Amino acid sequence: MRRLPLLPIALLASLAVAPPALAQGPNLPINQPGKKAKAKPGKATLTFRDGLRRNGNMFLTRGQRVKLTGSARPFVPGQYVRVELRRDGRTVQRKVKRLRKARGGKGKFAVAFKPRRRGVHWFRVSHRRTAKQQAFRTQKRARVLDNTASSGARGIQVRMLQKGLRRQGYGGLGTSGYYGPATARAVLAFRKVNNLGRLMRANREVFQRVFERRGTFKLKYPRAGKHVEADLSRQVLVLARNGRAERIYHTSSGKASTPTVLGSFRFYRKDRGTNGVGMVHSNYFIGGYAIHGYHSVPTYPASHGCLRVPIANALGIYKWINLGDRIFVYR
């Protein structure tokens, strides 16, 4: 029998230890522990869309709808924020909003609350830490005022009511904080424009609309340049410029037996002072029809055809109107 040749002992040892050549190659992946994505930082902003400011402080009124918008930077998909209304250290209202992608790499949200009590309130937006975004928080302060006032009242709520009415164009009004005749006339004009009842006191609905920045007069002829509009259905007189109501006044037009003429006219004559029949600072627009001050300006049509305005407002109106300016009289 033929014997096979013996292999060297060293060669046998190397074959026993070395794995097959196909068991491992240079291009096979090597498993490594995965790295967790780092949570992104965040920064929030919060902005009031209504309310009234004074000396950098925000003022609201009870029962108004307070609209706020906010943003978080950077935007991270799937994140939520909690928005709270807080008073005396307690959360009294809370809403959760999802951040939606907006321009500039931001996430945006919008929310509304109705504060029901007077006093200092805080509006807080916060985000709890998640795997994708770190925690962040911001807040803003506002003072909530009462929502009624009438003649003789004084204080910050009257001052802010006056500021809100002036901002919307209700003329002849200061911001003294005293509810006098000028404020009463402005409130009456506001009520007429908004069909709220022809009274001179400011109730909850007046305050809420003023603080929500609603209730100005919408022009019928916004492209007519500098002009006057007399809306006889609501008994208001409006001095308009640049497409907006610049001044809005309470007026009384012609009664049923002597109605005010309707149409478009131009002022052709101005008489300063008081004439023999008690017309004060008259601006004539056709024939004997004029805008003028008068001692009696009721909430309903009562004149002989002219547009009566309170004597306290007559001079300001007289100075604003120029000869050739147009007036539109309509119902």
Residue-wise pLDDT tens digits, 219-265:
999 999 999 999 999 999 999 999 999 999 999 999 999 999 999 99
Residue 19 has pLDDT above 90, yes or no: no
Domain count of the chain?
Answer: 3
- Write the pLDDT tens digit of every residue in 278-307: 999 999 999 999 999 999 999 999 999 999
Pair 207, 265 in one domain: no
Last residue of a domain, one of 108, 126, 145: 145
Q: Cβ-count burial of 118 within 10 angstroms (0-12 exposed, 13-18 middle, 19+ buried)?
A: middle
Do 165 and 258 sit in the same domain of this protein? no
My answer on whether 237 and 278 are in the same domain is: yes
- Strand-pair partners of 46: 70
Residue 128 falls inside a structural domain: yes
112 and 139 in a single domain? The answer is yes
Compute the distance between CA of residue 194 and CA of residue 110 in angstroms, rounded to an integer: 27
Among 8-17, 89-98, 145-154, 232-241, the least confident range: 8-17
Does 93 lie in the same domain as 51? yes
b/e for 171-194, b at 16 or more Cβ within 10 A?
bbbebebbbbebbbbbbbbbbbbb
Q: Is residue 171 domain-resident? A: yes
- For the cut 50, the answer to whether the pLDDT of residue 192 exceeds it is yes
Whether the pLDDT of residue 144 is over 50: the answer is yes
pTM score, whole prediction = 0.86
Q: Is residue 96 part of a domain?
A: yes
pLDDT tens digits, residue range 66-108? 999 999 999 999 999 999 999 999 999 999 999 999 999 999 9
57 pLDDT above the threshold of 50: yes
In this structure, are 119 and 54 located in the same domain? Answer: yes
In which band, very low, low, confident or very high, does the pLDDT at 154 lie, cut at 50, 70 and 90? very high
In terms of DSSP H, where are the helices of 79-180?
Answer: 156-167
DSSP 216-237: PPPPS-TTS-SEEEEETTTTEE
- In this prediction, what percent of the chain has a pLDDT beyond 70? 89
Tokens (6 digits) for 117:
């009590």
Beta 57-61 vs 136-145: how paired, if at all? parallel
pLDDT at 11 over 90: no
For residues 83 and 110, membership in a common domain is answered with: yes
- 282 in the same domain as 242: yes
DSSP output for 265-309: EE--EEEEEE-TTS-EEEEEEETTEEEEEES---SS--BSSSEEE
- Are 304 and 247 contained in the same domain? yes
Residue 8 in any domain: the answer is no
pLDDT at 172: 84
Asked whether residue 5 is assigned to any structural domain, the reply reads no
Mean local confidence (pLDDT), 15-31:
43
**Which domain-ending residue is among 123, 145, 167?**
145
pLDDT at 171: 85
Domain extent at residue 267: 227-330
Q: Contact at 8 Å (CB) between 89 and 51?
A: no
- Is pLDDT of 27 > 50? no
Q: Is 25's pLDDT higher than 80?
A: no
CATH number for the domain including 95? 2.60.40.10
pLDDT for position 298: 97
Q: Which of 29-33, 196-200, 290-294 has the lowest mean pLDDT?
A: 29-33
Among 145, 172, 201, which residue terminates a domain?
Answer: 145
Q: Do 193 and 174 share a structural domain?
A: yes
State the CATH number of the domain containing residue 299.
Answer: 2.40.440.10
Looking at the domain assignment, is residue 15 inside a domain?
no
The confidence band for 20, taking pLDDT boundaries of 50, 70 and 90, is very low
**What is the reported pLDDT for 21?**
43
Give the whole-angstrom CA distance, residue 63 versus residue 181. Answer: 26
Question: In angstroms, rounded to a whole number, what is the distance separating the alpha carbons of residues 139 and 204?
Answer: 27
Percentage above 90 pLDDT, the chain: 87
| Closest to 253 measured CA to CA, from 215, 292, 287 | 292
Same domain, yes or no: 141 and 161: no
- Supply the pLDDT for residue 302: 98
Same domain, 240 and 282: yes
- Which of these, 115, 134, 141, 130, lies nearest to 44 by C-alpha position? 134
Mean pLDDT of 155-173: 95
Mean pLDDT calculated for residue range 101-127: 96
The answer to whether position 6 is within a domain reads no
Residue 60 falls in which region: left (phi positive, over 0), alpha (psi -120 to 50) or beta:
beta
Other Cβ atoms within 10 Å of 212 Cβ, number? 19
Whether pLDDT at 10 is above 60 = no
- Residue whose C-alpha is closest to residue 302's, from 247, 248, 260, 241: 260
Helix H segments across the chain?
9-17, 156-167, 181-193, 204-211, 311-320
Across the range 124-131, mean pLDDT stands at: 95
Checking if the pLDDT of 5 tops 90, the result is no
- Whether residue 4 lies inside any domain: the answer is no
| Residue 7 pLDDT exceeds 50 | no
